[in-house]
Amino acid sequence: MTDDERWMESAFLEAEQAFKRKEVPVGAIVMKDGKVIGRGYNQTETLKDPTAHAEMIAITAAAMHIGNHRLEGCTLYVTLEPCPMCAGAIVLARISRLVYGAPDPKAGACTTLYKITQDSRLNHQVDLTGGILEPRCSTILKDFFGKIRGKTMGKPEMN
């Protein structure tokens, strides 16, 4: 197992927490010098906050941990390709490297629909690696949305 796979496993554990809480199962961790300094999972339903994505929560936790809004030298691992909001936050935080699991064909803003983290017109670009543990990261999302489609109203029933 590579280091990227090992750390993506940690992000995946966060995604499982979201799944258990009936949130879209996306998880993220921020690493610096071989240590996790921030972690998060989607909590938009729980917090009633459209910005409570896994990446945003992990970035905020990491910034608080180091006492700085700039996360230079950090790597963000996230199970799903970040959306435009999260990609923008990654650039603003000056995160050095982004590693994601599954591409997002509906909102991916790093390679799939947009390339925000790679845009040379912005003041920072991010080293990018995608597809780490992609099958596993995709499957949990498919399982989640499959359960939602099985329900006509309300949150999905999950055990």
Q: Annotated active-site positions, please?
A: 55
Phi, psi of 22 (to 5 degrees): 65, 35
Strand 97-102, strand 35-41: pairing: unpaired
Per DSSP, helices labelled H in 1-153 are 3-20, 44-47, 54-66, 84-92, 134-149
Question: Cβ distance 97 to 118 under 8 Å?
Answer: no
